[in-house]
Every structure is written in C-alpha cells, then in structure tokens.
Structure 1
Amino acid sequence: MAAGQVSNNGPKPLQRNLSRRVSFNEATLARSQEHPKPPSEPEFIDTEAQVTGRPGCSACCNSCCAWTSLILALLLVLAILVGGVYFAFLQSNLPEVRLHRLDVYYLGVNNTDTDTFLTSDFEVRLNFTNDNSKIKLSYSQMTTSLSVEGVDLGTVKIPAIIQEPSSSVDVKARTWMRKTSTEETVAEDLRDNSLKHLMVIDVVLKGHIDFLVNGNKMNGFPFKVSCRSIDQSEIDNGHAPKCAVQMTPL
C-alpha cells in the first residue's frame, strides 16, 4: 500500500463507538422517561385554588354562633338573678313563729308481762306574727308533727289559714296516740319528766304559703317551721322560744 493512502477495509472504531454511544443514550433516555426523577425542589401548590365555597360564610356563621351563645348566657344569668331576688323577697316576708304553750292532757304507761304501751294526748300552740303592713299571708293545709325526747307522739292536719297584714294568729296542734308499744324505760322516763316539767319537745310544721299584695296573689313555696329542743320548763315559765322558718324550694 502506497504511503499517504488510506485503506477502506480497515476498522472504523470511531463510527462503532458513536453508534454504541447513541444506542446507550437512547436506552437511558427511555428509562428516565419511564421513571422520572423527583424534582429537587417541591412544587408550589395553590391551596387557595382548591378551597370551594365562599370563604366569608364560615366567618359569618362563627360570629352568629358566638353572639347567640353570649345572649343565652346573659339570659340565664338574668333568670338566676330574678329568681334569687324573688326568693329573697319571699323569705324576708315569712312570719315569725314562736312556741308559747304546751298542754299535757294525758300521759299513761301500761305495763304487761310481754310489752309496754304508751298513751298520750298533747297540744301545742304556735303564734304566727305577720309584721308586714301590706302583705296578706295565705297558708294551705299544714301538717304538724310532735315528738318528745325522741318519742313520736303523732301527726295532725291543720286547716288552711289566711292572715291579715300586721296581725298575729294562734295555731293549735293536738296530737294523740293510743296504747302504742314502746320500750319500758323510755315510757317511764317520759312520764317522770312530764311530772317534773322537764320534757324536751320538738315540733315540725310543714305547708305551703302564698303572698297576697293589693289583691294580687304571688305564688310562694313550701315552707317549714322547726321548733327544736324546746325545754318544757322554758314554756311553763312564760317564755315563747322562737322557731326557725324557711322556704323549701321544690
């Protein structure tokens, strides 16, 4: 072969390498398209564009609910205040009650071989004083219970009473029981203390009271009069112990 001539039959390494490189690049490009790499930076997502509806509606509803809750709370507080004032008014105009008399008509103890029986006939008098000059008091039927030194001496009903302003009225409650079985020692102690005027008395009166002002009726509540641990000697000496009077809301 002459110098300076190039043989056409010789290898063409450059072309083969280019062909292979192009083939490798195409395959790589195809795989990269099938499995694209995640972007190095997160894409920006417009969240506002995804919100549906009118944004002002939620704020309006929240404001309405807040005002409604506030108004209801104020109404509740107002109702409690009005109820408290009304209850205080009724409580302040309750009558003054004093236990000023005790009569023992009969107290007998009957002992047998097997049991002891107690027979009693007691009467108590309570004075109700209405100090208000404008309010008339109306008492419904009342129930009075009497016990002496823990011994129940019976319960009696008292008819309804209407009391005028600035007035006092006596309420009598007479209880009795016939041959009631009791312990011998209790019955004997009760009889001995009665003879010595040393009995300790408990009187409880329950009923309902209404208030009448200028012909208008103000509905009241149930009330209770409690005369606790009253000494018989104190009553016999002319004293009139004051009883506790209170409203008892339903």
Structure 2
Amino acid sequence: MADRVYPASKPNPQPPQALKGGSGSGGGAGGAPSFPPTKGQTYGATLPAYRPQPRKPPPPRRRSRRGCCCSCCLWLTLVIVALLFLAAIAAGVFYVIYRPRRPTFEVDGLRLSAFNVSGAGQLTSRLDLNVTARNPNAKIVYLYDAASISVFSGGVDVGDGSFPAFVQEAKNTTHLAAKLSAPSGQSLDSTAASDLRKKTSLPLEINVDTKVGVKIGGLKTKKMGIQVRCEGINIGVPKGKAAPVASSPNAACKVKLRIKIWKWTIS
C-alpha cells in the first residue's frame, strides 16, 4: 500500500498590498513588506500545552500585640482566681482545725494615787493600772512585744507607761501591772486646767498599743500591730491627805488589729 504524502504546510497568500495613491509619472504603487507567518498561523502546527503556575503559599499571619495582651490578661486572671481559691480553701481548713479567737483584755484594777494641776497649767499624776489578758485558744500561742500605755481624760493625757514583753501560752491568763504618770513638760491651757481642778472624778480612756505574733507548733508568724482600747471607766480624784481609793471597774476592752500598708495604718 502506497504511503500518502501530505504537505507539511500550506503557504499563506500574501495580503493585498495597500495602494498608495499619488500623482506622478508611471502611477507607481508602493506596499508594506510582508512578514513570514507565525507558528499559530502555520497549518497543522501544534500549540504548547497549558501548564498552570503553582500558587504561592500565603505569607504567615503575624499575631497582633492586642491578641498577645488579651491572652496574657486572661491567663493572669485565671492564675489569680486559682490562687484566691486555694487561699480560701487553706483558710477554711485552718479555721476548722484551730478555731482561732482573738485575745481578750480587761481592766480589773486602777488607782489614782496623785493628781494636781499647778497654777501654770502643769499636770502631775500617778496611776496604778492592772490589766488581765486571756488567751482563749487551745492550740495557739501569742507572742507580745512591749506595750505602750496612754490614759486620757477629756482629751488630756493624764498618764503614760508601758507593759513588758511576754509570751502567752494557750488557754493562759496573764496579769499585767504598770505605774503611769503624766508626761513631763505638758502644759495645759487655762480652760482645761480650770476644768480639771473642779473635777471630783475623772472619766478615763485607756489605750494600749503593741505588736503580737502567733505561734502554732513550730511555725511563727510575723508580728502585727494591735490596739487595746478600754472606755467607760471613772475614778475618784484624791483630795487633801485622804488615802486614794482603788477602783475595780472590771471594764472589758476592745481589741483592734492595726495593719500598716506603706504610709497608712488600717484598724
């Protein structure tokens, strides 16, 4: 069987040349030069296959600072809540085991042995004070620092003194005694001096300031400030050569915790 031969390509007829009009001899016409056909115009030419270009992966997103701050705040809040929850559980367990109770104080003896206001407004006084401190806890020991005592009557300081430091065991009762006297160099105005000379009894307010720590087994806490305030006490003023009479007011006192934060003290 004879092989058939196909022509490789079929020539493309040249495009008609544009006539260039003009006057002149011979009326000659000029045409644009023809170019060889492209591959797409050639008969039977095969076009290259379309190959799609691979897509470039998108650039990684950068996490904004706002997102980081929100995440940090969320985790910080969760940590604080968890710590508060654990602290509440620990406080509850401590209360159930030890049943802590604050100490109590009571003025059970007071005597004003001397009291005089001079013409220049100088106050002279001597007081004997007896206070009973009780620790109602069965498993807690109190560690007291030395305490300062101030006695006031109508805003006038009529006696200052101190109690020594002591350790109060569990379920213990401690009796404290102190001798007080008016601060030296205190000068009263004429109104206050005249008012004190006329009094036959003095309403007193006793303030005791100290620091106390707690001991539980082998554990000791940091000492914190407390204030003991005793009010509603009246004592007779000695007159002439009569012996001063001791008073037994049996006045209960209030105990306030004083927490110092930087420059402020919270009671």
Name the TM tier (shorter chain).
Answer: 0.5 to 0.7
Identity %: 21
Structure 2: how far apart are the matches of 1:176 and 1:66? 59
Secondary structure in structure 1 of the residue aligned to 2:138: coil
Q: CA deviation at 1:162?
A: 0.7
Q: Does the 8 Å contact 1:119/1:179 carry over to 2?
A: no
CA offset at residue 189 of structure 1?
3.5
Greater C-alpha radius of gyration = 2
Listed as ranges, the gaps of 5+ residues in structure 2 are 1-55, 237-244, 261-267
In the alignment, is the contact (CA less than 8 A) between 1:91 and 1:246 conserved in 2?
no
Separation in structure 2 between the aligned mates of residue 152 and residue 104 of structure 1, nearest angstrom: 14
| 1:119 aligned partner, one-letter code | T
Task: Specify the SS of the correspondent of 2:137.
Answer: coil
Residues 73 and 167 of structure 1: CA distance in aligned 2, closer, same or farther (over 3 Å): closer
1:123-153 residue CA offsets vs partner (Å, 9 max, x unmatched): 2222101111222211012111111222112
Change (3 A) 1:218 1:102: same
Structure 2 vs 1, CA of residues 172 and 86 (structure 1 numbering), >3 Å: closer, same or farther?
A: farther
Among 82, 100, 112, the residue aligned to 1:104? 112
Give the whole-Å Cα distance in 1 for the aligned partners of 2:149 and 2:247.
24
Counterpart pick for 2:210 among 186, 193, 207:
207
Q: Which residues in structure 2 correspond to 1:179-198 (within 5 Å)?
A: 180-193=186-199, 196=200, 198=201
Q: TM-score, normalised by structure 2?
A: 0.59
Per the normalisation by structure 1, the TM-score is 0.62
| Cα shift readout 1:83-134 (whole Å, capped 9, x = no counterpart) | 97699899952211111221112111222xxx33221112222210111122
Q: Which residue of 2 aligns with 1:242?
A: 252
Pairing partner for 1:226 from 229, 232, 236:
229
Q: For the aligned residues, what is the CA RMSD?
A: 3.8
Aligned ranges 1:1-250 → 2 under 5 Å: 52-54=59-61, 64-65=71-72, 67-75=74-82, 77-78=84-85, 81=88, 92-111=100-119, 115-177=120-182, 178=184, 180-193=186-199, 196=200, 198-232=201-235, 238-250=248-260
- Name the amino acid aligned to 2:196: L
| Unmatched segments (≥5 aa) in structure 1 | 1-48
Letter matched to residue 200 of structure 1 = P
Aligned counterpart, 1:34: none
Whole-angstrom CA distance in 2 between matches of 1:146 and 1:232 = 12
State the alpha-carbon separation in 1 of the partners of residues 228 and 99 from structure 2. 13
By how many angstroms is 1:67 displaced? 4.8
- Whether the 8 Å contact between 2:149 and 2:161 is mirrored in structure 1 is yes
CA distance in 2, matches of 1:153, 1:110: 14
Range moving further from structure 2, 146-155 or 75-84: 75-84
What amino acid is the match of 2:81?
L
What is the total number of aligned residue pairs between the two structures? 194
Q: 1:217 & 1:167 partners in 2: Cα distance?
A: 18
- CA shift, 1:242, in A, is 0.9
Distance in 1, matches of 2:228 and 2:150, equals 11
Distance 1:133 1:172 in 2: 25
Distance 1:98 1:228 in 2: 11
SS at match of 1:181: coil
